[in-house]
Amino acid sequence: MCGIVGVLGDHEAAPILVDALKRLEYRGYDSAGIATVNEGQLDRRRAVGKLVNLSDLLVHEPLLGKAGIGHTRWATHGAPSVINAHPHKAGPVAVVHNGIIENFRELRAELAGQGIDFATETDTETVALMAQYYLEQGNSPVEAARKTVARLDGAFALAFLFEGENDLLIAARKGSPLAVGHGEGEMFVGSDAIALAPMTDKITYLDEGDFAVITRESLEIRDANGELANREMRTIHLDDARIDKGGHKHFMAKEIAEQPLVIGEAVRHYLSADGNSVELPEDIDFTSINRLTMVACGTAFYACLTAKYWFEQLAQMPVEVDIASEFRYREPPVPGGTMALFVSQSGETADTLAALRYCDGKADKIVSVVNVAESSIARESDLALPILAGVEVGVASTKAFTCQLTVLLMLALKAAEQRGTLSAEDIADKLSALRGLPAALNTALEQDGVIAAAAQKLAETSDVLFLGRGLMYPLALEGALKLKEISYIHAEAYASGELKHGPIALIDKTMPVVVMAPYDALFDKTRSNMQEVLARGGKVVLITDRKGADDTSGDSWRTIVMPEIDPILTPILYAVPAQLLAYHTAEAKGTDVDQPRNLAKSVTVE
């Protein structure tokens, strides 16, 4: 979602701000802008669409000054347009904002009552006008910002820049993350450390309710109670090289290809020294847990749905899985003995974070499975388990999904060991299979050409159905989500057994049906469902293994063959063809693979 950057530098701010915004592009946006203070004068430039439009504008209308703020906007209030783009400016104050100001209508009415006019429908303009109002009341810039922030309800991150102030930035955080970067006689602000990576690796994360007054030589942070707060400055190890495309055409392609490597790292991280059991950074007593509640959104939710099968089958644990936006408002009971597990790549998803806070004080233990180790969800959990996927830039989650699955499977094996539902030999066998997973993933990646050919055909259609049974059902859901989000083709997934209960009415010769079916205990049943599709002229793209392909030879329209593997690992392996199918279909259609329309990487609003 929206990205914020700020700089109090030693060099011209505009190129630094645009470069930092480029590094936030992955979050998703539809307009961008920057503001600077030059010899006391506050000015701004804004443009709709990609950052290149802002860069072009800056060529013709440069902005000078060594202090500035910048923003990529993902529209919430008001359409993507220049007038709605940030920074918003009201007289001597400019503001950039991520999140939503929930009480902006009341504040707007209050300001309107003072005779103040509005140029936009946005909540952010209200913040700028409120700060201007407090300045006109005789407050200093810091006081005006402090009084403004105190009036705001909602989840937001803000940065303020003031006319006449070449050495002042104000940053405030309530709900949306914000980091301050420390340079040599320079200071920076960013929505995340990635934005600031080329400038500094010394980062201070603001806590909930923090209000920071920043100059080139100082950082003063006050907490939600107005008390001076001492926040730790950390050195972040962001490998710069991992934030480029590494020779691939898109970040998504690079991230798909990285899976054998990062999954191998995740497996090693959680393996005991002898390789025969799972080791967690801190023990969980699974024998005292009688219910597991898993909550997440989107792809992370499908990782949870998959893990439900594992925890139930391997560890005999009752599991409930819920979409975070539903869970948080349903007010579900959280009985004693519940472990609440939250899965999130970004660790900042607003609904997942709110669901975690709902469970705080109710669940016996709060565990999270996250990619961003410094994220709010990680920090607010009793135990945060990193998935070690590395920075994921493509908006469509790929390597984070399979790393989430890997960590969740290892957690289920740990639960099975403690609860005595699997023997030590069985666990050692599964772990040995997990160690072989990177090699199998490499073989799956070699199917790229066959998958790309099938994708050329999918790109010509407008609807695709995905079917799967057992562990392949959540993966079918994920495959359909991947396809629709990056190729804009309508895709739906069903449990194969549900086909006859309605969706079969859709089948005709124009309808491709992707069937995910390793040759496992459920293969025969899925093959029957596949025959039902074929009998009605449907075109089947079958993703299976050698035995499955031999058993159905000639039946399917296209067959994609995966290596054989322990059935428990098939969701991780079969994610690769699902991702490649979506990727190549989007490529064939020429859509924006890494930043699909309307989508944001880090969903920090409800």
Give Cα 407 to chain centroid, integer Å: 17
d(CA 47, CA 256): 32
User: Measured from the CB of residue 301, what is the shortest distance to ligand F6R in angstroms?
Assistant: 7
DSSP letter for each residue of 77-117: SS-S-TTTSSSEEETTEEEEEEEEETTHHHHHHHHHHTT--
With H, G, I as helix, E, B as strand and everything else as coil, classify residue 127.
helix
Residue 308 has a CB neighbour count (10 Å cut-off) of 20
> Active-site residue among 2, 297, 304, 359?
2
Going by DSSP bridges, is the β-strand pair 67-73/31-38 parallel, antiparallel, or unpaired? antiparallel
The residue (of 324 and 562) whose beta carbon lies closer to ligand F6R is 324
For helices 141-150 and 123-136, angle between their N-to-C axes, nearest 10 degrees: 130
Residue 139 burial (10 A CB sphere; 0-12, 13-18, 19+)? middle
Of all residues in this chain, which one has the CB nearest to ligand F6R in the complex?
298
User: Measured from the CB of residue 297, what is the shortest distance to ligand F6R in angstroms?
Assistant: 4
The residue (of 46 and 601) whose beta carbon lies closer to ligand F6R is 601
User: Measured from the CB of residue 599, what is the shortest distance to ligand F6R in angstroms?
Assistant: 8
Q: How far is CA 435 from CA 265, 269, 492, in A?
A: 10, 11, 33
The residue (of 94 and 605) whose beta carbon lies closer to ligand F6R is 605
User: Measured from the CB of residue 116, what is the shortest distance to ligand F6R in angstroms?
Assistant: 37
User: Measured from the CB of residue 348, what is the shortest distance to ligand F6R in angstroms?
Assistant: 7
Contact 18, 51 (CB under 8 A): yes
Binding site for ligand F6R (CB under 6 A): 297-300, 344-346, 349, 352, 396-397, 481, 485, 603
Listed in order, strand segments (DSSP E) in 167-300 are 169-174, 179-182, 187-190, 202-205, 211-214, 219-222, 228-229, 233-235, 291-296
Contact 356, 381 (CB under 8 A): yes
Residue 432 identity (one-letter amino acid)? S
Look up 601 and say whether it is catalytic: yes
> Active-site residue among 50, 66, 430, 601?
601
Contact 389, 191 (CB under 8 A): no
Q: Residue 187 is encoded by which pair of tokens?
A: 């200071």
User: Measured from the CB of residue 352, what is the shortest distance to ligand F6R in angstroms?
Assistant: 5
User: Measured from the CB of residue 268, what is the shortest distance to ligand F6R in angstroms?
Assistant: 23
The residue (of 121 and 492) whose beta carbon lies closer to ligand F6R is 492
The residue (of 186 and 348) whose beta carbon lies closer to ligand F6R is 348
User: Measured from the CB of residue 499, what is the shortest distance to ligand F6R in angstroms?
Assistant: 25
Q: Say which residues have a Cβ less than 8 Å from residue 77's Cβ, sequence separation at least 6.
A: 84, 100, 104, 121, 122, 123, 124
- Give alpha helix (H) positions in 224-291: 251-257, 259-270
The residue (of 148 and 602) whose beta carbon lies closer to ligand F6R is 602
The residue (of 131 and 578) whose beta carbon lies closer to ligand F6R is 578
For 281, list phi and psi in degrees, rounded to 5.
-65, -25
For helices 399-419 and 570-589, angle between their N-to-C axes, nearest 10 degrees: 170
Give the residue carrying structure tokens 């560890």. Answer: 315
The residue (of 148 and 345) whose beta carbon lies closer to ligand F6R is 345
DSSP letter for each residue of 526-537: HHHHHHHHHHTT
Residue 420 has a CB neighbour count (10 Å cut-off) of 10
User: Measured from the CB of residue 374, what is the shortest distance to ligand F6R in angstroms?
Assistant: 14
Look up 359 and say whether it is catalytic: no
Listed in order, strand segments (DSSP E) in 391-458 are none
d(CA 491, CA 470): 20
The residue (of 129 and 366) whose beta carbon lies closer to ligand F6R is 366
Q: Residue 339 is encoded by which pair of tokens?
A: 């472990």
Residue 369 identity (one-letter amino acid)? V
Residue 432 has a CB neighbour count (10 Å cut-off) of 12
Catalytic residue annotation: 2, 601
